[in-house]
Amino acid sequence: STTLPTPTSPISGMKPGTSGLRKKTREWMSPNYLPNFVQSILDVALTSPTASSSPSYSILIAGDGRYYNNEAIQTIVKILAGNNVPNILIPKFGVMSTPSVSSLIRSQSNCVGGIVLTASHNPGGIDDDFGIKYNEARGQPADENFTNQVYEKTKTIREFKIVSGGEEVVDLEAEAGTSVVVGGTRVTIIDPFEVYVDCLMKSFDFGVLKKFVSDPRVSITFDGMHGAGGPFASKILGEILGVEELMRCESKVDFGGIHPDPNLSYAKDLVELMGMKPDGTASKDKSSKFTLGAANDGDGDRNMICGKGIFVTPSDSLAIIADRCRCIPQFKDGLKGVARSMPSSAAVDVVAERNGVECFVTPTGWKFFGNLMDSEEAFNKKSYSPFLCGEESFGTGSDHIREKDGLWAVLAWISILADANEGNDGDLVEVRDVVERHWKKYGRHFYARYDYEACESEAAEELMDGLRGLIGEVGGGGGGEIQFENCEEFEYTDPVDGSFSGKQGMILNFTMKSTGDSARAVFRLSGTGSSGATIRLYLEQYDGKNWDGSAPERLKGLGEEAVRISKLRELTGREKPTVIT
Ligand code: VG1
Ligand code: CO
């Protein structure tokens, strides 16, 4: 085969968001769309130190298995070959979860990075979403500097290089270890599981996990939502640990028609199975046989954790793991650093402060955690490892890799339950007990998120601008219980490399008149959608004493205040959020 430089012209709108470029699948399938974006990624990626110093460097191509996954892989192989990339690695069947991609890249000293075909928790199918993101050599999502450069390339691209060849140049069903040559490029099929399983085995004590899973009092269920995490769950939870009740763990191109986002709205089957009402509070007439119920998203990096009649908010989950981290071998000597995204609740901050652990608050998106994790290795600064981090959007993880990790979070919770039940022959200490003990010790951050999906972009921008106009105004309360104090805009200077990120969300601060406790509402526009705008409203209220009751109920008043101040109803015409979680 020969390389054909193919003329093309720029296609507008290829600006990567919070996590890669996500568009409607048909748009990706339109002429030159995929090649333009992949060529632009390569133009930036191939200037990296690994690519220039290692003559036999490799690039990984893998996806979350959604519609167009395998066709896209074939095209990308031909473009990489056209650009003389010496080695390509592809998992058997083309599917890997995002965390397993991160661990695989890290395990290869000459791997420049990975092209990851995913739109994560967005629905898949010809009429839904497809996406591509890029992970760099340390396994971390490309930073803003990288994605901005890619975007610039997409605006000036004139040609892409592609080798000639039929539709299929690589057999994705070939056994691991098989390789073929395309153009001058060696393409090798690899085992998707091995490296990642190994990595988790180093983080956890699988003997302890297995013993807990096989305890006759214990019953665990997991919902893979037909995403890429499913096969990994089957292997690790099913085959290795003996968890029996695995649901929806085969990866499917359309995720079985569901929205593969594990939260109270979209994982409602699991919520019901765990004995909860749709709002995540205990159902009065239905109990659950399961000790632990968990779910992952489309690419296996998000997690939802539930116990009998209780849903653990991701922010609480992070705080609880931080507090009890020493039961996880990876953290046996304690933590050096923790971090959370700004909209996540301050529950982990309280744990960090009381335990003398450094705590960082970053913008939304996992790429901001990577620098902190690698501060020593890559930047010759202080080490924050062992490091734990998370986001309110059901992301939890650590420095075992550079992505959030859905299965890791499930194993962390099995570890916590095993530890809480160590030497206990009586009634099981349940998820609810663990959570309530935590609230008793540290107070509770009542937390909820409202999403207003598919709003008009203009209305959403106007709302944010309106809030900006409140900066500097002092609220001074009024007569009600929820007193508005002030408004600020979050921005971030990376403490490791000094890079600056502005406009990362508007924060409205409140005080509860009767208790003096603080509360806040945060507004952000989503950067992962494929059309229109999603307004996210994050609500948080701290209570040090009275931690009883349901979060959605507690936060209703605060939500009303935030909606009123922001003029959300007037601007968007929305009476109610699309999602409450
Ligand atoms: C959302 C979440 C963010 C997460 C991102 C990618 O971004 O809020 O916390 O890191 O999705 O997660 P946004 O900009 O839509 O709010 V995933 O599992 O979609 O890769
Ligand atoms: Co995801």
Same domain membership, residue 187 and residue 201: no
* Gap from CA of 160 to ligand 1 centroid (Å): 30
Atom of ligand 1 nearest to the CA of 120: 19
Ligand that lies nearest to the alpha carbon of residue 299, given by its number in the listed order: 2
> Within 6 Å (CB) of ligand 1, which residues are found?
18-19, 120-121, 297, 301-302, 341, 364-366, 391, 393, 395, 526-528, 536
DSSP characters over 395-418: EEEETTSSS--HHHHHHHHHHHHH
- pLDDT of residue 408 exceeding 70, the answer is yes
Nearest CA to ligand 1 atom 19: 120
The token duo for 91 is 């998992």
Nearest CA to ligand 1 atom 17: 120
Same domain membership, residue 448 and residue 433: no
* Gap from CA of 163 to ligand 2 centroid (Å): 32
> Ligand 1 pocket: which of 15, 19, 389 to mutate (most atoms <8 Å of CB)?
19
337-361 pLDDT, tens per residue?
999 999 999 999 999 999 999 999 9
Atom of ligand 1 nearest to the CA of 536: 16
Least confident of 109-123, 431-445, 542-556: 542-556
Same domain membership, residue 279 and residue 204: yes
The pLDDT, as a whole number, for residue 506 is 98
The domain that contains 494 carries what CATH number?
A: 3.30.310.50
309-337 pLDDT, tens per residue?
999 999 999 999 999 999 999 999 999 99
- Percentage, residues of the chain above pLDDT 90: 89
Active site residue 164: no
- pLDDT of residue 479 exceeding 80, the answer is no
Same domain membership, residue 378 and residue 284: yes
The pLDDT, as a whole number, for residue 477 is 60
- pLDDT of residue 115 exceeding 70, the answer is yes
DSSP state of 573: -
Rounded to an integer, the average pLDDT of 60-67 is 98
The pLDDT, as a whole number, for residue 165 is 79
> Ligand 1 pocket: which of 129, 143, 364 to mutate (most atoms <8 Å of CB)?
364
- Residue 506: phi and psi, rounded to 5, are -100, 130
- Percentage, residues of the chain above pLDDT 70: 99
Ligand that lies nearest to the alpha carbon of residue 122, given by its number in the listed order: 1
Task: Tell me whether 0.85 is exceeded by the ipTM.
Answer: yes
Same domain membership, residue 282 and residue 265: yes
* Gap from CA of 422 to ligand 1 centroid (Å): 36
* Gap from CA of 301 to ligand 2 centroid (Å): 5
The domain that contains 135 carries what CATH number?
A: 3.40.120.10
Could you say which of 416, 442, 468 is where a domain stops? 442
Ligand that lies nearest to the alpha carbon of residue 528, given by its number in the listed order: 1
The pLDDT, as a whole number, for residue 548 is 87
Same domain membership, residue 224 and residue 183: no
The token duo for 195 is 């490296």
End-to-end CA, the chain: 52
Same domain membership, residue 269 and residue 171: no
Same domain membership, residue 281 and residue 142: no
* Gap from CA of 475 to ligand 1 centroid (Å): 31
Q: How confident is the model at residue 2 (pLDDT cuts 50, 70, 90)?
A: confident
Catalytic residue (one of 58, 120, 251, 344): 120
Nearest CA to ligand 1 atom 11: 528
Same domain membership, residue 108 and residue 22: yes
Ligand that lies nearest to the alpha carbon of residue 228, given by its number in the listed order: 2
Nearest CA to ligand 1 atom 20: 120
- pLDDT of residue 256 exceeding 80, the answer is yes
Same domain membership, residue 518 and residue 418: no
The pLDDT, as a whole number, for residue 493 is 97
482 alpha-carbon distance from chain centroid:
32
Could you say which of 138, 165, 192 is where a domain stops? 192
Closest CA to 41 of 14, 22, 66: 14
Residue found by looking up tokens 């989503």 in the block: 526
Residue type, 208: V
pTM: 0.96
> Ligand 1 pocket: which of 402, 528, 538 to mutate (most atoms <8 Å of CB)?
528
Atom of ligand 1 nearest to the CA of 298: 18
361 alpha-carbon distance from chain centroid:
16
Atom of ligand 1 nearest to the CA of 122: 19
Q: Please give the biggest Cα pair distance in the chain.
A: 77
Same domain membership, residue 213 and residue 270: yes
Q: Mean pLDDT score of the chain, rounded to an integer?
A: 95
Domain ranges, residue 427:
197-442
Is residue 31 classed exposed, middle or buried when 0-12, 13-18 and 19+ CB atoms within 10 A define those classes? exposed
Do residues 183 and 163 make contact, with C-beta atoms less than 8 angstroms apart? yes
Rounded to an integer, the average pLDDT of 281-298 is 94
* Gap from CA of 118 to ligand 2 centroid (Å): 8
The pLDDT, as a whole number, for residue 576 is 95
Atom of ligand 1 nearest to the CA of 529: 15
DSSP state of 238: I
Between these two residues, 18 and 434, which has the higher pLDDT value? 434
The pLDDT, as a whole number, for residue 285 is 87
* Gap from CA of 247 to ligand 1 centroid (Å): 24
- pLDDT of residue 528 exceeding 90, the answer is no
- Total domains in the chain come to 3
Same domain membership, residue 269 and residue 295: yes
Least confident of 81-95, 154-168, 175-189, 224-238: 154-168
Could you say which of 192, 226, 247 is where a domain stops? 192
The pLDDT, as a whole number, for residue 478 is 63
